[in-house]
Amino acid sequence: MNDAYRPPVTKSDEEWAAELSPLEFKVLRLAGTEAPFTGEYTDTEDEGIYECRGCGAELFRSNEKFHSHCGWPSFFSPLAEDRVRYIDDHSIPGRPRVEVRCAACDGHLGHVFEGEGYDTPTDLRYCINSVSLRLRRG
């Protein structure tokens, strides 16, 4: 992680813990992962904007969501590139990944994968934890 990066929304761990559920804190602040096929938005098809559950930043549109059958909500693109930031993730030996974080509060969202062959405009799969998001319908 780039130590020089400072998100616009900053709170102490105590402040985050008071605002988030234990699972939300584990995922957003500690880069955990919710269990597959358990998230609120895995199969949701409602229209709207997906916001960061930590800070409310708009991250993804429902029309960028697709069914990847991986167990987590999948998107082929963020609402805008400045809404997310990317970090090389080498936490699994032999399987480098790219972590996706909210640019506004630095909350962990999930990972992005490329070249998996999904029929999407970008050939990217943003594999995002439901618990990191809140859908504003409409």
H/E/C letters for each residue in 15-29? HHHHHCCHHHHHHHC
Instruction: Give, in degrees to the nearest 5, the angle at Cα 89 between 13 and 14.
Output: 5
Catalytic residue among 52, 102, 105, 127: 127
- pLDDT tens sequence across 60-115: 999 999 999 999 999 999 999 999 999 999 888 888 899 999 999 999 999 999 99
Does the pLDDT value for residue 5 go beyond 70? no
- Residue 3 confidence class, pLDDT cut points 50, 70, 90: low
Whole-model pTM: value is: 0.91
**pLDDT digits 0-9 by tens, 34-44:** 999 999 999 99
Report phi then psi at 58, rounded to 5. Answer: -75, 125
70 flagged as catalytic: no
